[in-house]
Amino acid sequence: MKTDGSHPETALTCVEELAERYPDIPVEVIFKEDLLRQGMAWSPSALEIAANFKRKAYFIFSFDMVPISDMEQNEHSKAPEEIRLVGGPYGFNPVVVSVRLNPGSPYRIESEEGALVLKCGSHPIAQVELQEVPAYYRRTLADGKRLPDVIPAIEWGYLLYLTVFRLCQYFSRQQECLYCDINRNYRQHRDAGKPYSPVRPVGEILEALEIIAASDRDSRAYTVTGGSINATLEGKSEIDFYIRYPEAIEKRWPGRWISKIVVQALPKEDVKRLHDVGVQVYHPNFEIWDERIFSLYCPGKAAHIGRNEWIRRILDAAAVFGPARVIPNFVAGVEMAPPAGFQSVDEAIASTAEGLDFFMSRGISPRFTTWCPEPMTLLGSDRKGAPLEYHVRLLRVYRDMRVKYQLAPPIGYGETGLGRAVFSVSSFMDVLPSSGEE
């Protein structure tokens, strides 16, 4: 097989060869993974059209493959949050893809007679649909802040994203996760004039949600998230800082949305507190299964909590929430990042499959974010993600293991199945059998 180059012909050949080799993974899913891995470029006229739709909010990380200072068309201020690919020569079922900007990508969105088309070189791949701007995106808070700067919606409007702390206290080379640009992304947008503040007050979140609750019918879940707190923030520990948000939201709108939270793996008594205030899904993100690579690429997590303790706490959380409501994220592909990552797809798949098996055999339901090397991260310098074959094989392992352990669809991600899934930063929901949302 030709390897996945960034040249359009090579990229196309690679996708088509994988589609032939793995006919149980739909071709639109393979393209989606390649777009997540390699990003996409935009023509000037396509960008002008996109600027009229819901724009990329940079809700926590950049997920771009160039810093905004290198975006000659100011793509960051015009590109959409997500695109939906349909039709075209391959007859795509709809797939929603997060927009990761990369002017050097073999994939490019162009406009043809006013319609948007995804191309790979000169080859058309699919038609491109964009999401209308939700009515609340045009509203402001009393102090003038724009709603999408406070609570953006992703996953085609399904998920409200509440980044309440835009920095992480793992901030040095010895501590920060090597694939993460949370702190640098905050700084680049602040330097570009975006009205970001590190901490979002609880009152501001409630004010924004009041507007959203009154007008929006698409959002079904919210995630409270942000960087890790290892010392204190505003005098509060990680649990004391973050718990205030779901507590206040669930008091005001009990059960209105599926309530999710991303914080570190916390001791059982803290996890109980989250459960007691109404959090429904807990994401103690594990990121990388392999012990050696976890220690090297997540040095802060390894030093402050440690891998074994992290695992023990995930199991404790399953006893509190019920295993199906504990969903640790894996950064899919980062275990192949040089210099210390696996060098072969076989090794990487074997390792991550072992982690999936460990959790899924206990009813715990991991999920993925497809890794792309963001240039402001310590692993971003070579701008090459894991091979596309890795992502295709991982999706097969994930799908088959869910069947093996008879796991119900993940909670808080919307519908599963090709043409119905809305999760945009990995295809794990696209490859599961179709079902209604829980």
Q: Are 160 and 148 in contact (CB under 8 A)?
A: no
Residue whose CB is less far from ligand SF4, 108 or 283: 283
Q: If you search the block for the tokens 């960087």, which residue do you land on?
A: 227
State how far the Cα of 254 lies from the Cα of 69, in Å rounded to an integer. 43
State how far the Cα of 73 lies from the Cα of 55, in Å rounded to an integer. 15
As measured in angstroms, the least distance from the Cβ of 182 to ligand SF4 is 4
Residue whose CB is less far from ligand SF4, 168 or 395: 168
Residue whose CB is less far from ligand SF4, 131 or 228: 228
Q: Are 391 and 333 in contact (CB under 8 A)?
A: yes
Residue whose CB is less far from ligand SF4, 170 or 222: 170
Residue whose CB is less far from ligand SF4, 106 or 300: 300
As measured in angstroms, the least distance from the Cβ of 227 to ligand SF4 is 4
Q: Are 100 and 380 in contact (CB under 8 A)?
A: no
Q: How many helices (H) and strands (E) does the chain have?
A: 14, 13
Q: Are 82 and 75 in contact (CB under 8 A)?
A: no
As measured in angstroms, the least distance from the Cβ of 127 to ligand SF4 is 35
As measured in angstroms, the least distance from the Cβ of 432 to ligand SF4 is 25
Residue whose CB is less far from ligand SF4, 46 or 229: 229
Residue whose CB is less far from ligand SF4, 281 or 392: 281
As measured in angstroms, the least distance from the Cβ of 301 to ligand SF4 is 6
State how far the Cα of 101 lies from the Cα of 80, in Å rounded to an integer. 10
As measured in angstroms, the least distance from the Cβ of 365 to ligand SF4 is 20
Name the strand (E) or helix (H) holding 336: none
Residue whose CB is less far from ligand SF4, 188 or 228: 228
State how far the Cα of 141 lies from the Cα of 146, in Å rounded to an integer. 7
Q: Are 436 and 409 in contact (CB under 8 A)?
A: no
Give the residues lining the site for ligand SF4 (CB under 6 A).
168, 170, 176-177, 180, 182, 227-228
As measured in angstroms, the least distance from the Cβ of 314 to ligand SF4 is 15
Verify cis geometry, omega within 30 degrees of 0, for the bond prior to 246.
no
State how far the Cα of 179 lies from the Cα of 330, in Å rounded to an integer. 12
| CA distances, 132 to each of 76, 81, 391 (Å) | 18, 11, 30
The CB density around residue 289, as the number of other CB atoms within 10 Å, is 22
Angle between helix 388-404 and helix 8-21 axes, rounded to 10 deg: 30
As measured in angstroms, the least distance from the Cβ of 228 to ligand SF4 is 4
